[in-house]
Amino acid sequence: MKQGMQGYWLMAWLGLISNVLALPTIGLIAFAGPPLKAANISIAFSVAWPAAIVGIVASAGLLAERRWGVILAIVALSMALSACMPYGIVRLLIVQESHLISGLSIFLGVLNLLALIYWCRPGHRRIRRL
């Protein structure tokens, strides 16, 4: 990407690294403990791991400078956002003991929202090379 968007490579590499690190982290949280264990496992299998896998494929497409990488990044971020924010809010309200996982989930939801705004910018669709 010669004329590229500012922050393109940084966001692509951050996406790849964070999605690869998310796979074992999701497993640790899902199978960790008794509070909301059934909900944790169901969210891990239904949304979190698929979103991380789509994010890895999207990051690979972005690093290869393919246009479909931007579309997949938007899909993966939307999937992650659809689970992070509601899960964090519900866990914050139901589980009164520890706010670490719920706070982390809400924080990651905000980061996903900011990344989604970045990848939805019109400049990513105007580049001819992709």
Q: Which residue has the tokens 């866990």?
A: 91
pLDDT in tens, 49-107: 999 999 999 999 999 989 899 999 999 999 999 999 998 888 888 887 778 888 988 99
* Token pair in block for residue 124: 């990513």
Buried b (16+ CB within 10 A) or exposed e, 99-129: eebbeebbebbebbbebbebbeeeebeebee
The encoded tokens of residue 99 equal 């706010």
Dist CA 99 CA 105 (whole Å) = 10
The model's pTM: 0.86
User: Average model confidence (pLDDT) for the chain?
Assistant: 88
* Structure confidence at residue 2 as a pLDDT band (50, 70, 90): very low
Stretch 19-38: mean pLDDT: 87
Cβ neighbours of 10 (radius 10 Å): 9
Q: Identify which has the larger pLDDT, 16 or 4.
A: 16
Q: What is the mean pLDDT of residues 100-127?
A: 87
